[in-house]
Amino acid sequence: MAHTSSIPAEAAQNPAVSAPAPVRTSAALAVFSLWWREIVRFYRQRSRVMGVILSPLVFWVVIGSGFGNSLRPDATGGGGHYLEYFYPGALIMIVLFTSIFAMMSVIEDRREGFLLSVLVAPVNRSVIVLGKVLGGTTLATIQGLVFLVFAPAVGAQADAAHLVLVVVIVFLVAFCLTALGFAVAWRMDSAQGFHAVVNLFLIPLWLLSGALFPIRGASGWIRAIMRANPLTYGVEGLRAALFPATHSREFGLGASVGVLAVFSAIVFAIAFVIANRRSTKPAA
Amino acid sequence: MELTVAERASRSHEPPAVPEAVIQLENLSHRYDERLALDGVSFGVWPAEIFGLLGPNGSGKTTLFRILSTLMLPTLGRAVIQGFDAARQPARVRRAIGVVFQAQSIDPKLTAAENLWHTGHLYGLHGGALKSRIAEMLGRVGLAERAGDRVETFSGGMQRRVELAKGLMHRPSVLLLDEPSTGLDPGARRDLWLYLKTLRDEEHVTVLVTTHLMEEAEHCDRLAILSEGKLVALGTPAELKREIGGDVILMEAQDPASLARRIAERFGGNPTVIDGKVRLERENGHRFVTDVVEEFAGEIISISVSKPTLEDVFIDRTGHRFWNETAAPPAK
């Protein structure tokens, strides 16, 4: 602190008086702490953990088994059961749910007042966004990877290198969606509004990601939307990495990872810009 | 006090814009869409004083608090803390201030120690220094035994103490508290004020407190009284009450308006009718009481004489009661 004249002379001479406030704040420390809090909070709410693990599993089994006999194997481009085709989509759905709902914590933090105390701390807004987004990303990545225990059951044949790619893709999809969730949640003051946006935009985004039906069979304009959808690159990338032999590819694996990385950077930048605005309106 | 401050300022090499005050407001104004919430407020807060911001709801306290805590930009004027403009240099201001909000800001899912651990990280504390600071702060607010318990299991008063510890983790030179005694029982309220005075005396922290409670404002070294966004009084509680001049006399009467008019004709002064009572400020109130009762015998139902309170200061400056939703318009 450059300005010390306000501290009376007695204070400077008295050794019992506390040292001046620390000047240097550490961005890494702040990111770590915000990240850590996201994780701890999540695992202290058991119902959230159960919901996030069980609901996609139920979706996968019910939808996958139900469609199983309706769709001809060749329609999905592979020889396996529909459960196999649907597997990457189900994994992305887990990531989608966890990422987006992890960012409900932005609304909770605002309502509980916690956010205010973070906003008056001397940390850059990008640090706040990064800490929270990485927290949600970590949760979603973990949940997505836990789902991988079912991969052998549907005949996934990924080797070590492909498994690394699976982790990278899951992480990028999680980051992209968490940052998106953050951007949406920042100006919201109610969980209901957030749900409305999620239902209106994010569920269709998932439906049109190649999770349920392949791009190739879709009509022209749907196909265009699917190609513009970042989730498509997550689903197709996972499919290519998990089943390298059976599925014909829509895009190369490298292209999928690249597109996801670019989308992640863009969405993060948007989240930062939204959170960095200061105005003459109350911050919370 | 002002003298030593001036001496200190003359010895320092600070920019001349803010010679001595820790917090300096310059013509601070704020407008929410159509409502003017702060209207050209200017005052300074001196080092190591407990400064009260007194005003009823809607007087602009919260608006001022938001601007000082860097959470909102003013629409006009400046707020300068430790020489830094809250609007232009928020990062510098944020390092200097500790903020205790009226609403809860601690995380109920974390333990008391974890809450402080997290806050410490945001301010760059870590490792052993952070650990000992957490232990020190929890000890000071009397929660050392409950360090490992989740805050959601705490009583309201205990949660407020964690809030205070959280605001002080980084040893701020300025502490801003918004309605700090909300939800505190009288004992906890007394403890809070004792602690604020300790902070002022031993660590020379400058404390700014917003309040709508007269008895709380009495504890402050100096006060700014706000009404409808305007600064209506500034000074120590004793000074402000002294300015009233003598005693406050309240009279119940059959026809207060006519009584007030006739008292003005006979005795002078400026009697007003507030809440159906004739109110008058007068030196040597006890003598005036006998005079006025003799003069208007039979018209006065009851009469009381009292030393002025801060509420009287407020009435004197604004012409209406502190809580004026139900009050009659001032009879001027």
Residue of A nearest to B100 (CA): A117
Query: Rounded distance, CA B49 to CA A190, Å?
Result: 40
Give the distance from residue A11's alpha carbon to the nearest chain B alpha carbon, in angstroms. 7
- Residue of B22, B122, B205 to mutate for A, most A C-beta atoms under 10 A: B122
Residue of A nearest to B198 (CA): A17
Q: Please tell me which of the candidates A10, A25, A117 has its beta carbon nearest to residue B101.
A: A117
Nearest to A112 by CA among A225, A191, A218, A26: A191
Instruction: Find residues 42-61 of chain A whose CB sits inside 8 Å of chain B.
Output: 44-45
User: How far is the CA of A218 from the CAs of A73, A77, B122, in angstroms?
Assistant: 16, 13, 50
Which segments of B170-317 are extended strands (E)?
174-178, 206-211, 222-227, 230-235, 247-253, 272-274, 277-282, 300-306
Query: Rounded distance, CA B156 to CA A234, Å?
Result: 47
Q: Find all residues with CB under 8 Å of A171, minimum gap 6, and list them.
A: A137, A141
Position B172 pLDDT exceeds 90: yes
Position B12 pLDDT exceeds 60: no
Give the distance from residue A27's alpha carbon to the nearest chain B alpha carbon, in angstroms. 8
Convert the pLDDT of each residue in B37-49 to its tens digit. 999 999 999 999 9
Which residues of chain A are within 8 Å of residue B103 when distances are taken between CB atoms?
Answer: 113, 116
Query: Is A205 in contact with A144 (CB distance < 8 Å)?
Result: no
Q: For residue B1, what pLDDT is reported?
A: 40
Mapped to the 3 state alphabet, what secondary structure does chain A carry?
CCCCCCCCHHHHHCCCCCCCCCCCCCHHHHHHHHHHHHHHHHHCCHHHHHHHHHHHHHHHHHHHHHHHCCCCHHHHCCCCCHHHHHHHHHHHHHHHHHHHHHCHHHHHHHHHCHHHHHHCCCCCHHHHHHHHHHHHHHHHHHHHHHHHHHHHHHCCCCCHHHHHHHHHHHHHHHHHHHHHHHHHHHCCCCHHHHHHHHHHHHHHHHHHHHHCCCCCCCCHHHHHHHHHCHHHHHHHHHHHHHCCCCCCCCCCHHHHHHHHHHHHHHHHHHHHHHHHCCCCCCCC
Convert the pLDDT of each residue in B274-305 to its tens digit. 888 898 888 888 888 888 888 888 888 889 88
> Residue A190, exposed/middle/buried by CB under 10 A (0-12, 13-18, 19+)?
exposed
Q: What mean pLDDT comes out for the span B200-224?
A: 93
Q: What mean pLDDT comes out for the span B15-25?
A: 71
Which residues of chain B are within 8 Å of residue A34 when distances are taken between CB atoms?
Answer: 118
- Residue of A5, A31, A128, A278 to mutate for B, most B C-beta atoms under 10 A: A5
The residues facing B211 across adjacent strands are: B54
Tokens of B13: 């090499």
Quote the ipTM score: 0.79
Residue of A nearest to B92 (CA): A122
Residue of B nearest to A19 (CA): B171
Which residues of chain A are within 8 Å of residue B11 when distances are taken between CB atoms?
Answer: 5
Give the distance from residue B104's alpha carbon to the nearest chain A alpha carbon, in angstroms. 6
Convert the pLDDT of each residue in A134-152 to its tens digit. 999 999 998 888 888 888 8
- Residue of A29, A120, A124 to mutate for B, most B C-beta atoms under 10 A: A120
Mean pLDDT of chain A: 82
Query: Rounded distance, CA B191 to CA B195, Å?
Result: 6
Which residues of chain A are within 8 Å of residue B85 when distances are taken between CB atoms?
Answer: none
Tokens of B251: 């009279």
Which residues of chain A are within 8 Å of residue B48 when distances are taken between CB atoms?
Answer: 8
Q: For residue B318, what pLDDT is reported?
A: 81
Q: Do A20 and B119 touch (CB under 8 A)?
A: no
Residue of A nearest to B202 (CA): A17
Tens-binned pLDDT, residue by residue, of chain A (284 aa): 334 334 333 333 333 334 444 446 788 999 999 999 999 988 888 787 777 677 767 877 777 777 666 555 555 555 567 778 888 998 998 899 889 888 988 998 988 889 999 999 999 999 999 999 999 999 999 888 888 888 887 888 778 888 999 999 999 999 999 999 999 999 888 888 888 888 888 888 899 998 888 888 788 888 889 989 999 999 999 988 888 776 566 678 888 999 999 999 999 999 999 999 888 887 65
Residue of A nearest to B29 (CA): A280
Q: For residue B245, what pLDDT is reported?
A: 74
Q: Do A21 and B123 touch (CB under 8 A)?
A: yes
Sign for the CA dihedral angle at B49, B67, B92, B179 comes to: positive
> Residue B149, exposed/middle/buried by CB under 10 A (0-12, 13-18, 19+)?
middle
Confidence of residue B10 (pLDDT cuts 50, 70, 90): very low
**Identity of residue B151:** V
Which residues of chain A are within 8 Å of residue B126 when distances are taken between CB atoms?
Answer: 26, 29
Q: Do B109 and A10 touch (CB under 8 A)?
A: no
